[in-house]
Amino acid sequence: MLVFIKSTAYASTLESQIDKLVYKLYNPTNEEIKIIEK
């Protein structure tokens, strides 16, 4: 169970970092980001 929790937290961290890089690369508007994150 603990391994799953650590893996989930790690995956969430990676996803957040990837999102930031993609947003920096494509420079979407706030409205576009809201649509993407729905």
Cα within 13 Å of Cα(29), Cβ side: 2
User: Over 80: is that where the pLDDT of 2 sits?
Assistant: no
pLDDT at position 1 is 65
Residue with the larger pLDDT of the pair 21 and 8:
21
Tell me how many helices (H) and strands (E) the chain has: 2, 0
- Residues 23-38: what's their mean pLDDT? 95
Higher-confidence residue of 21 and 10: namely 21
User: What is the structure's pLDDT at 23?
Assistant: 96
